[in-house]
Chains A and B, each alone.
Chain A
Amino acid sequence: MNAALLAAVVPTTTYYLVLSAVLFGVGAAGLLVRRNPLIMFMCIELMLNAVNLSFVAFAVRFGDISGQTAVFFVLVVAAAEVVVGLGIIISILRRRPGATADDLAEMKG
């Protein structure tokens, strides 16, 4: 395609939403594939970021700042969630070094 024509293309909301969907899919696949609880946590962060990106894209599209406020709250909750989750992982791994997500089934009942 002509370079000048390509340079005139402005990324629309749809571009951002497609990127967000792909990022969410990668995060979901990673969450299902990996067994290391730390990596699984990172994949959850990937999915949260994908949703944040679509929130901001929609906020710009609809001219409504509330979408960005929602992202702010997601950030706060993500920080709290990481703190609690890593605390749980530390206390599990301290007791049984090298535990994977499969071993955690022993926690039930």
Chain B
Amino acid sequence: MELVVFVLASAMVLAGAVGVIVRSNPVHAALSLVLTLFGIAVHFVALEAHFLAAVQVIVYAGAIVVLFLFVIMLLGVDKAEDLSIEPFPIQRPLAGVVGLGVAGLVIAAVVRARDTLQEGAALDAGGDRNIRALARDLFSDHVFAFELTSVLLIVAVVGTVLLTRKEKRKAGDA
């Protein structure tokens, strides 16, 4: 049963990922990204990380993809682009080699090292204990980093407002 869930969710993840990089229309690519993010959320549920699964759906599939779609619509680039134009003919084969190489090297390392992975004590994940454990860790060991994230978000929002603001004409300029 777990294997069936794993295979189905992995198929979602990989189909969405391939969709992102081969779709010519940015809107379709963003919707493929949603498929990948939902697949990852299914994996999180299977791994009993319930809180992260919920956050994955809310933040990624909810906020980030909506932001992408919003920008696509705002800029009016929701037209299919011509993917046959290729200024550097060697770029695609090279990118394929790099992608395959990265994946192949990591897989080789993982397969080689799979016997050295120590099995730790099982995480207690029934009921709401995943959220409790996560909260205890977040607000004790990582409380300073957690507070810093609020600074990061404020800086990001203020910076973006400054970046995208339309230049106002100075008084007396007209």
Q: Which residues of A contact B (CB under 8 A)?
A: 6-7, 9-30, 32-34, 36, 38-39, 41-43, 45-46, 49, 52-53, 56-57, 59-66, 68-69, 71-73, 75-84, 86-91, 93-94, 97-98, 102
- Check A27 against B17 for contact (C-beta < 8 Å): yes
- Check A25 against B102 for contact (C-beta < 8 Å): yes
Set of chain A residues within 8 Å of B13, measured between Cβ atoms: 19, 23
Q: For the A-B complex with A19-B13, A46-B17 known, give 18 more contacts whose Cβ atoms are closer than 8 Å.
A: A10-B3, A14-B117, A25-B101, A30-B17, A32-B94, A45-B60, A46-B20, A49-B60, A53-B40, A65-B137, A66-B137, A79-B63, A82-B64, A82-B67, A84-B160, A86-B68, A86-B160, A102-B87
Distance to closest chain A CB from B130 (angstroms): 8
Set of chain B residues within 8 Å of A18, measured between Cβ atoms: 107, 110-111
Which of B6, B60, B118, B134 contacts A69, CB < 8 Å? B134
- Check A43 against B87 for contact (C-beta < 8 Å): no
Set of chain B residues within 8 Å of A19, measured between Cβ atoms: 10, 13-14, 43
Q: Top 5 closest A-B pairs, CB basis?
A: A29-B99, A25-B103, A63-B120, A30-B21, A32-B95
Interface of A is mostly: helix
Set of chain A residues within 8 Å of B4, measured between Cβ atoms: 7
Distance to closest chain B CB from A40 (angstroms): 10
Set of chain A residues within 8 Å of B29, measured between Cβ atoms: 38-39, 42
Set of chain A residues within 8 Å of B102, measured between Cβ atoms: 21, 24-25, 28
Q: Is B171 an interface residue (CB 8 A)?
A: no
- Check B74 against A83 for contact (C-beta < 8 Å): no
Q: Is B91 an interface residue (CB 8 A)?
A: yes
- Check A23 against B17 for contact (C-beta < 8 Å): yes
- Assess A21 versus B17: contact at CB under 8 Å? Given A28-B102, A38-B72, A72-B134: no
**Once the chains are docked, how many angstroms separate the CA of A20 from the CA of B48?**
17
Distance to closest chain A CB from B138 (angstroms): 5
Set of chain A residues within 8 Å of B100, measured between Cβ atoms: 25, 29
Q: Is B174 an interface residue (CB 8 A)?
A: no
The residue of chain B having its C-beta at the shortest distance from the C-beta of A82 within the complex is B64
**Once the chains are docked, how many angstroms separate the CA of A32 from the CA of B87?**
13
Distance to closest chain A CB from B41 (angstroms): 10
Q: Is B173 an interface residue (CB 8 A)?
A: no
